[in-house]
Structure 1
């Protein structure tokens, strides 16, 4: 949630600006209302509207574009076109942020022209006194109060939207609260540094996976200094042998499955800009700003869902979805929902494992959830949806990859670990009772 220090004048200014932009887009959209294909045209206006509204709405739109469990596919497809198409910050603003972080003189060389630029931060190439090349992520100066003000306005808009019949059953405030929390969390570069360190430790045995290390003493709430990867390329299989392609696919999948099912610390933003290859063909994972820590119960539920799906146990999959949901309608027909999910899982289980596609399965599951008013918890939805983004990239390397077969060994290791942990807890509890 936004902090209370957001000033009244800033909130009023952003409210006026937002109202003017929204009104202009509504007037432009009026001719399309009620026409054939009108809804699709309105959806395609959404990226322009959100871009005009500013960085909070762009980030929120990017995140909500993945929530196919809540919104129609044509809306998500339109929002997926959003990009951080922003001007780089001025040299003065970057210098001011570095000075406020106490890092004005920390670099022997600093390239003011960013190598990457987004709505929240820019990334600059720099060199330390000992010659080490580093990447310096610098938060845009003054961005926090603007994002906090926009979150407040978005929450007010969601409350006002309750009067619309189409919005009445949509948990808009919950969605915006979750999205706003995810956006504001990306402003905490200390948390991102900690996430980088944890991901590096958790995935240390994946030798073909690189995660840039943060540099001690050169990180703060608004500046994150990391090792520089100079030979980054797109995550594409060009020039690779089929054997090497399969090695890359297996390593990525096992790393992601370990995040999901074992460690519960999940990088939820593995799009083509954050998943790259270096000059030696090793996988490089960038930007740990959107990393979600799954509560242990959610991690176990998530693992249980996938294992039961791989085993064709539809009723259990349905029960897990219901148990992990953020909200269930009072009039939910549980048996009808269980039957529908069971039929979907049975159909997927009946296909050859290598032919299973999460991109085909998940939208149908999401549609069932929407039809029955079952709203998934964000901790459950975001990791699942991150797999959807990854699936298309993986299929380009190896169209025959068996997603379920690669998952099962990690799932079994996860359950073995959980059984051991539960046994140790019971033993500790028994010893405590004996001592008492």
Structure 2
């Protein structure tokens, strides 16, 4: 559903519902404060779920940042990665009935979800031949709700664009681009294509597994895929000390392959979407939030990353300036000098000493102060790294993720040389 089809009364109604949910959330927080009680994880998840799927996605990102938020809040928000309050069994059954009619293809399907996300629930089922499968059922009316929420955020961004201090920043364009990708998470045909492409990209690598979909059984509201069993969450409490180091390197290597080689990037690898398999592999279960990077963006991001790792701050500044949407009024010399200082401070730092959030914040502040406005497309590779950084820091704070990127970056550079030849 695009903005042109969203009628003003619907948008106003959704805004009223959102405002009511925010007011109720605030009232409950005040009541708990007066009663000297804290919110439970399930209570926090329920409050955010009432706001809608777009807000849940933001909370899922925040849940990975144990270095930035209190542990108690991360635990509460982490519930939203795979334990969002599920719809009723009747609602799930109705979606299945609309998809298959009276002739269900399953010999048995458990309406109690294995996992519940903001877009869909996942269920264990058995086919008539005895094969166990996972069945992903889209929440009823989630596409409409998500479209309305994104339209509201777009309207807020356009309003913010009129604020004098924000007029030079493409806030509306950035929200629009991110919103388009978030909105596609409710498009199951697109997700099936994403999973197939992801399987193809990782096919030569036995270290990453992606479930195959059973396309003959899929519908616009349902995805049927391989059931992956024996999975362990990539959390410190669930992974033995001896396995953490290798698994972190596998996560980083897979992410770098997507960023620097394939240009097909999963931007949502939180704990609910990526697991350790029983055979030591990584298992990626979801293909909703993926982006195809333009070749120029992929190349420039790779060049920035390699020069960051090598401490070449002046070259990093050249790349940022070359990729910027606007540089009118820019103090190029001042920006280059300050960014070079920042790169020298962070080059070669291990995860325990390096925070991507802090680095990105300082980089954006330099851009703002020196009138360098980055292209919105660069938010996606940054988002992919932001999501996994919290996981990396939790499992192995000493990993040198800049050094681990170098072999992938070398392959990317070699590929470009071969292409030119």
Give your verdict on TM over 0.5.
yes
2:316 matched to which residue of 1? 317
Correspondences of 1:67-86 after superposition (within 5 Å): 82=77, 84=80, 86=84
Q: Does structure 1 retain, via aligned residues, the 8 Å contact 2:328–2:371?
A: no
Alignment pair present for 1:381 and 2:379 = yes
2: CA distance, partners of 1:144 / 1:278: 31
2:92 matched to which residue of 1? 94
| SS of residue paired to 2:112 | coil
Q: TM-score, normalised by structure 1?
A: 0.79
For the structure 1 residues 158 and 50, does the alpha-carbon distance in structure 2 shift closer, same or farther, using more than 3 Å as the test? farther
| SS of residue paired to 1:266 | strand
Correspondences of 1:19-58 after superposition (within 5 Å): 19-20=19-20, 51-58=49-56
Q: Does structure 2 retain, via aligned residues, the 8 Å contact 1:214–1:227?
A: yes
Q: Does structure 2 retain, via aligned residues, the 8 Å contact 1:353–1:405?
A: no
Q: Does structure 2 retain, via aligned residues, the 8 Å contact 1:21–1:52?
A: yes
Q: Does structure 1 retain, via aligned residues, the 8 Å contact 2:313–2:341?
A: yes
1:135 matched to which residue of 2? 134
Q: Cα deviation per residue 1:63-114 (whole Å; 9 max; x = unaligned)? A: 69999xxxxx88xx98997564743122332233223333751111111111
What RMSD over aligned residues (CA atoms) do the two structures have, in Å? 3.5
| SS of residue paired to 1:135 | strand
1:330 matched to which residue of 2? 328
Q: Cα deviation per residue 1:334-379 (whole Å; 9 max; x = unaligned)? A: 2211111111112223x56787625353333233234335444343
Which consecutive unaligned segments of at least 5 residues does structure 2 have?
A: 30-43
1:429 matched to which residue of 2? none
Correspondences of 1:160-171 after superposition (within 5 Å): 160-162=159-161, 164=163, 168=167, 171=170
Q: Mean alpha-carbon deviation: is it higher for 244-253 or for 200-209?
A: 244-253
1:185 deviation in Å?
0.8
2:234 matched to which residue of 1? 235
2: CA distance, partners of 1:128 / 1:391: 39
| SS of residue paired to 2:381 | helix
| SS of residue paired to 2:265 | strand
Q: Does structure 2 retain, via aligned residues, the 8 Å contact 1:358–1:388?
A: no
2: CA distance, partners of 1:374 / 1:407: 27
Q: Cα deviation per residue 1:3-55 (whole Å; 9 max; x = unaligned)? A: 533355433422333455567789999xxxxxxxxxxxxxxxx9998654322
For the structure 1 residues 236 and 131, does the alpha-carbon distance in structure 2 shift closer, same or farther, using more than 3 Å as the test? same
1:189 matched to which residue of 2? 188
Correspondences of 1:212-361 after superposition (within 5 Å): 212-236=211-235, 240=240, 242=242, 244-325=243-324, 327-328=325-326, 330-349=328-347, 357-359=354-356, 360-361=358-359
Q: How many residues align?
A: 398
For the structure 1 residues 277 and 3, does the alpha-carbon distance in structure 2 shift closer, same or farther, using more than 3 Å as the test? same
2: CA distance, partners of 1:198 / 1:151: 27
1:228 deviation in Å?
0.9
1: CA distance, partners of 2:366 / 2:19: 35
2: CA distance, partners of 1:126 / 1:132: 8
Which consecutive unaligned segments of at least 5 residues does structure 1 have?
A: 30-45, 68-72, 424-436
Q: Does structure 2 retain, via aligned residues, the 8 Å contact 1:63–1:179?
A: no
Q: Cα deviation per residue 1:300-358 (whole Å; 9 max; x = unaligned)? A: 01111111112222122112223323x43532212211111111112223x56787625
For the structure 1 residues 406 and 148, does the alpha-carbon distance in structure 2 shift closer, same or farther, using more than 3 Å as the test? same
2: CA distance, partners of 1:158 / 1:323: 26
1:34 matched to which residue of 2? none
2:366 matched to which residue of 1? 368
Q: Does structure 2 retain, via aligned residues, the 8 Å contact 1:62–1:80?
A: no
For the structure 1 residues 235 and 60, does the alpha-carbon distance in structure 2 shift closer, same or farther, using more than 3 Å as the test? closer
2: CA distance, partners of 1:286 / 1:17: 32
Q: TM-score, normalised by structure 2?
A: 0.82
Match of residue 414, structure 1, among 405, 412, 415: 412
